[in-house]
Structure 1
Amino acid sequence: MKALQGVDGHVEWVATTSPACDIGQVRIRVAAAGLNRADLLQRAGLYPPPPGASEFLGLECSGVISEVGAGSSWQVGDRVCALLAGGGMAEEVVVDGRHVLPVPEGLSLQEAAAIPEVYATAWLNVFQLAGLTPGEKVLLHAGASGVGSAAIQLCKAFGSPCWVSVGSAERLAYCQGLGASGGVVRSEDLNALNDFAPFNVILDPVGANYAELNLKLLARDGRWVIIGLMGGRKAELDLAQLLGKRVQVMGSTLRTRDDQFKADLLSDLGQQVWPLFGEGRLKPQLAKAFPVQDAEAAFAELASNQVSGKLVLVIDESLV
């Protein structure tokens, strides 16, 4: 088979050996794979896969099951999407059957490739870790990103108003179209978020640059979940504010979680979130699809920080 590998800051479509399908696993003939910032980092040599994970790029994919290992309830021919620790940008992938979900009713395989990673990330961090309850206020930094787009829709579906910080007026309008109550363009006046504060939950992929502001914006008993370091890794905080507001600060990554954790997360997603796609309350925000032969262009577009929603690579045109 062939797979996409990051090599010295670029990508190469290389030949490799097909992995064996073991007990409890399934083999997926890949139709499409979603792009994520982790892929950009791995391509640049800054985010190696966890021990035992595929060295190839891709944290999510969609496709058709072509082989089922003993002990799995999936069937050959099932249309699925999967959360992966790596290897999704390939002609086929082998994954724990518990990390696979059916393609939601009414969605194409191309659309389905855009949902596992971002909805799993949003659900884990905003709802499971931060414990968001209906009516609580949420701030989503980078609200027009794939994770932000998923989180906005989830907040709306579960009855919590949310606000965003974004890079342009167009992206703010995009977020409001998905259900955000409002927000700010970060280059204009980030401090204007004070007009919407206090927030009960902040989802933060930025890190250091927003740390001082986040602490000011949080309500008493607020939860601040850090999922990225786009704005740096070191910050100075007024710990008196942290104590006085009883703020909880959580660092969170998904890729390195163990198989059972991911299985439990996917099970919860299947029960709580997946039905909402069929009801039309959630929709994949697929901005653009690229053939795998144009992978470099897709990575460049993601790196431009101008994408609202998700990009996917089409691996097998005959399936999508």
Structure 2
Amino acid sequence: MTVPSSMSYVGLSEHGGPDNLVVTEGRTPHPRSGELLVRVEAAGINRPDVLQRKGDYPPPPDASPILGLEIAGEVVEIGDDVTGYALGDKVCALANGGGYAQYCVVPATQALPVPKGYDAVKAAALPETFFTVWANLFMMAGLKSGESVLIHGGSSGIGTTAIQLASAFGSRVFATAGTAEKCDACLGLGASRTINYRSEDFCTVIAEETGKAGVDVILDMIGAAYFERNLKSLARDGRLSIIAFLGGTFAEKVSLAPILQKRLHLMGSAMRPRTATEKQAIRDELLEKVWPLLEEGRIAPVIHAVMPYTEAAAGHRMMEHGDHIGKIMLTFD
């Protein structure tokens, strides 16, 4: 396949607001050993992209400085020591950076086949949220069938994914969201009870719904603002998995007594610092346990908006405004 020497991508003139995202031209990358070059057809916008744009989430030294952590498209070059892929394969992948571009290099061990029946937009909506939810909710927190889980930010890309996966694997799901429309959307995805955090206290609702027993697992992206109530809402041997700090990183004057009293497990992780081996393990479990559910239509990404990559700034403004339900996607001609 002929790969052009230059490509268009969404660059960042300087750290700051969405208007600092500008379409520019640059050299097309080429894969190193163990990598694929993908002609990008679609890419997802995620919260880490917003943080990187602001200067709060720098890419690793060996990663592309271009924003974008998930893509879908066509394999057009294959690096040395890569097996299992051929030119022309349609894949989606968790990128280490560089997704807002016409061409993106990804580790072959972080790529997955596009699920049967999926177009590029639906496929590109999968990697970042599904890798994150599977790793934190199932691999780390060990959510099992028959257990209960509270998912904060239920209408986000992470939240809509977590609700569907937890429900599909037999858990009772509670979810928080900020509007009646978002709560209804969470119910439609499999939550048994939604909690409008603007009018209800999730700690009170969980106590009422569980007979004061609490939930087995909480997936939290709020952090400090919810920390004390999260501890109160967990059952004995409960697990709190923290993946972001939208409500702050410092929790003051919080009693840690419930950790001892209820034998609680606290954990957290970010996806980007994980090793290539860890990401490959997540990829392998997704392919085995989750891809069949996607191809059977039992779960699917929730997509709020699709726009050309030239409008990436508008996509970032939409994400920061917070009215979206599910994923915001970019397309590439």
**Which TM bucket (shorter chain)?**
over 0.9
- Distance in structure 2 (CA, Å) of the matches to 1:241 and 1:98: 40
Aligned partner of 1:58 among 63, 68, 71: 68
Structure 1 partner of 2:93 = 82
Q: How many residues are paired up?
A: 316
Stretch moving more, 169-178 or 238-247: 238-247
Give the CA deviation at 1:43.
Answer: 1.1
Structure 1 partner of 2:226 = 210
Q: Contact conserved, 1:183 with 1:193, CA < 8 A, in 2? A: no
Structure 1 partner of 2:4 = none
The residue type paired with residue 3 of structure 1 is Y
Q: Which runs of 5+ in 1 are unaligned?
A: none
Structure 1 partner of 2:209 = 196
Q: Contact conserved, 1:220 with 1:247, CA < 8 A, in 2? A: yes
- Distance in structure 1 (CA, Å) of the matches to 2:121 and 2:274: 26
The residue type paired with residue 75 of structure 1 is A
Give the CA deviation at 1:63.
Answer: 0.4
Aligned partner of 1:141 among 152, 163, 184: 152
Q: Contact conserved, 2:206 with 2:215, CA < 8 A, in 1? A: no
Structure 2 partner of 1:116 = 127
Pair 1:252 & 2:269 matched: yes
Structure 1 partner of 2:28 = 18
Aligned partner of 1:2 among 3, 8, 13: 8
Pair 1:166 & 2:183 matched: no
- Distance in structure 1 (CA, Å) of the matches to 2:71 and 2:25: 19
Stretch moving more, 167-176 or 70-79: 70-79
Structure 1 partner of 2:281 = 264
- Distance in structure 1 (CA, Å) of the matches to 2:256 and 2:319: 36
Give the CA deviation at 1:282.
Answer: 1.1
Structure 2 partner of 1:70 = 80
- Distance in structure 1 (CA, Å) of the matches to 2:196 and 2:112: 36
Instruction: Tell me the secondary structure at the aligned position of residue 188 of structure 1.
Output: coil
Instruction: Tell me the secondary structure at the aligned position of residue 97 of structure 2.
Output: coil
Aligned partner of 2:46 among 36, 49, 52: 36
Give the CA deviation at 1:20.
Answer: 2.4
Cα deviation code 1:88-143 (max 9, x no counterpart):
11010111111100001111111111111001111111100000110100000000
Give the CA deviation at 1:47.
Answer: 1.2
- Distance in structure 2 (CA, Å) of the matches to 1:55 and 1:63: 20
- Distance in structure 1 (CA, Å) of the matches to 2:238 and 2:294: 29
Structure 1 partner of 2:318 = 301
- Distance in structure 1 (CA, Å) of the matches to 2:273 and 2:320: 23
Instruction: Tell me the secondary structure at the aligned position of residue 46 of structure 1.
Output: coil
Q: Which runs of 5+ in 2 are unaligned?
A: 1-6
Cα deviation code 1:186-238 (max 9, x no counterpart):
11112433323411000000000001110110000000011000001111331
Cα deviation code 1:144-186 (max 9, x no counterpart):
1001101111011100011011010110000000000112111
Q: TM-score, normalised by structure 2?
A: 0.93
Q: Percent identity?
A: 42
Q: Contact conserved, 2:215 with 2:233, CA < 8 A, in 1? A: yes
Q: TM-score, normalised by structure 1?
A: 0.96
Instruction: Tell me the secondary structure at the aligned position of residue 41 of structure 1.
Output: helix
Instruction: Tell me the secondary structure at the aligned position of residue 16 of structure 1.
Output: strand
Instruction: Tell me the secondary structure at the aligned position of residue 87 of structure 2.
Output: coil
The residue type paired with residue 41 of structure 1 is L
Give the CA deviation at 1:310.
Answer: 0.3
Instruction: Tell me the secondary structure at the aligned position of residue 95 of structure 1.
Output: strand
Give the CA deviation at 1:51.
Answer: 2.0
The residue type paired with residue 306 of structure 1 is D
